[in-house]
Amino acid sequence: MNRIHSRPPKVAILTIHFGINHGSVLQCYALSKTLCELGAEVVVLDYVPARYRVWNNVKIKYPDKSLPWKLAFLFASSVIRLPQKAVFRSYLKGHIALSGRFSDSGELSAGCPRADLYLVGSDQVWNSTYNGSKDKSYFLGFAPEGATRASYAASIGKDELTEEEGSAIAKGVAPFAGVSVRESKAAEQLAEHGIEARVDLDPVFFLDREQWCELASRKVRKEPYVLVYVIAQGYDDMVRQAREIADMLGARLYVLSVRPIRMPGVDRNFLFANPSDFLALFRDADFVVSNSFHGTAFSIIFRKRFLTFAAKYNARIENILALTGLERRLVTGRFDEAVVSEEIEYAGPADAIARGTASARVYLRGLIEEVSR
């Protein structure tokens, strides 16, 4: 008979938790918290690949930009991003159980902590454009021989894969005890390569509005405002359209972005907001405009009126909007004034999310129970 361990099973998470991205931190926090609630001891592997050093990251994210543009961006990053990184690093250390730091796959293989289950996800861990096509770490090959490996809500991110990319992902996840992805498109892509995957919600949906409010900053902003949460592409057009929406609603315009230059029409620009500040800004907003998956997710969690502007790697946004029946909130060009004025009935979306998180907990509990035997 199998003997149940007297100690809690240990789960090591590998995800994209670092950098200046509120959603990345909060999805990691939510997954860690949920696994702990299911009875596991959790550690997040503090893997920050060397390619994410500022200059390397500039070259990866903006390959088509000229060298003078990249150098100018690097200079601006050194002035603004280093303090921003310090804010996020401090927050991570205060809210998430981190392992020692690793910067390449060799260090992971040599020094990763022992665990009963190695779990990769969420966020775009299998997006080779972001994560380096030669880095196989996000397929958990560094885990000790015989270790149990699985994924939760892992994202490929890309709408289209080359044959080489699809084969590489399929090969990487073939030994997994369970394959869970975040988008239906990712499941279809894996199915084309003989891998059966389940589709699960991003971890941020494990926590409800009240639980996120407990983590949010206490400062309450009582004046009406439209919040713009923008990731990289499309900044200028989004802010211009958001200013129009704010004028329609008689509200001020707040922008939460890493971009240091405030556009005309922006009333407040939040450059150094930590994840708890992010939550408070969503909590108190009258309306949200975003081009981010997690901007969309937290708009739904906090039950806000919102618009999401189409962005690069759009499948994950389309997927959550389809699941919740909120497809009309997606903007592909110019916003529709009628949609802005519509109230959103959140009973249906809440039911869909509740069903999704219940199914996801069953999956995670099954993995934990399996490694406990």
Residues 6 or more apart in contact with residue 80 via CB below 8 angstroms:
258, 260, 271
Predicted pLDDT of residue 60: 67
Q: Which residue has the tokens 């665990």?
A: 115
Residue 106 confidence (pLDDT) above 70? yes
68 Cβ neighbours under 8 A, 6+ residues apart: none
pLDDT of 275 > 90? The answer is yes
Tokens coding 101: 């730091």
CA proximity to 120, closest of 139, 102, 105: 139
Residues 6 or more apart whose Cβ sits within 8 Å of residue 305: 286, 287, 288, 340, 342, 343, 344
Q: Taking 80 as the threshold, does the pLDDT of residue 169 lie above it?
A: yes
- Look at residue 348 in the predicted model and tell me its pLDDT: 97
- Interval 60-80: pLDDT, tens: 677 888 888 888 877 877 777
Domains 10-206+354-371 and 216-342 share a fold: yes
With both helix axes pointing from N to C terminus, report the angle between 22-37 and 67-95 in degrees, rounded to the nearest 10: 30
Those residues whose C-beta lies under 8 Å from the C-beta of residue 49, and which sit 6 or more positions away, are 103, 104, 131, 132, 135, 137
Burial grade of 190 (CB within 10 A; 0-12, 13-18, 19 or more): buried
The letter for the amino acid at 68 is P
Measured distance CA(22)–CA(294) in Å, rounded = 8
Residue 347 token pair: 């009973």
Neighbouring-strand partners of residue 117: 11, 148
153: left (phi over 0), alpha (psi -120 to 50) or beta: left
Q: Which CATH number fits domain 216-342: 1.10.3720.10, 3.40.50.2000, 3.30.450.20, 3.30.565.10?
A: 3.40.50.2000
Contacts of 339 (CB under 8 A, 6+ apart): 307, 328, 329
Residue 83 is predicted with a pLDDT of 87
Kindly report, residue by residue over 197-232, the tens digit of the pLDDT.
Answer: 999 999 999 999 999 999 999 999 999 999 999 886
Q: What is the pLDDT of residue 1?
A: 36
Number of other CB atoms surrounding residue 64 within 10 Å:
5
pLDDT at res. 362: 98
* 14 beta partners: 120
Extents of the domains making up the chain: 10-206+354-371, 216-342
Q: What is the dihedral of CA 277, 206, 195, 139, to 10 degrees?
A: 50
Residue 129 has pLDDT above 70, yes or no: yes
Q: Are 288 and 295 in contact (CB under 8 A)?
A: yes
Q: Could you tell me the pLDDT band of residue 178, with boundaries at 50, 70 and 90?
A: very high
Mean pLDDT of 338-345: 95
Q: What percent of the chain has pLDDT over 70?
A: 94
For range 237-243, the mean pLDDT: 94
pLDDT-based confidence at residue 133 (cuts at 50, 70, 90): low
Distance separating alpha carbons of residues 332 and 27, to the nearest angstrom: 26
Taking a C-beta distance cutoff of 8 angstroms, is the pair 121, 127 a contact? no
- Count of beta carbons in the 10 Å neighbourhood of residue 65: 14
Q: What per-residue confidence (pLDDT) applies to 194?
A: 94
pLDDT band at 131 (very low <50, low <70, confident <90, very high): low
Structure tokens of 368? 């934990």
pLDDT tens digits along 343-353 = 999 999 999 99
Tokens 């770490």 belong to residue: 137
Question: Counting every residue, how long is the chain?
Answer: 373
Closest CA to 301 of 240, 214, 241, 359: 214
Matching CATH number, 10-206+354-371, of 3.30.410, 1.10.246, 3.30.70, 3.40.50: 3.40.50
Among residues 180, 208, 207, which one has the least CA distance to residue 364? 180
Residue 5 has pLDDT above 60, yes or no: no
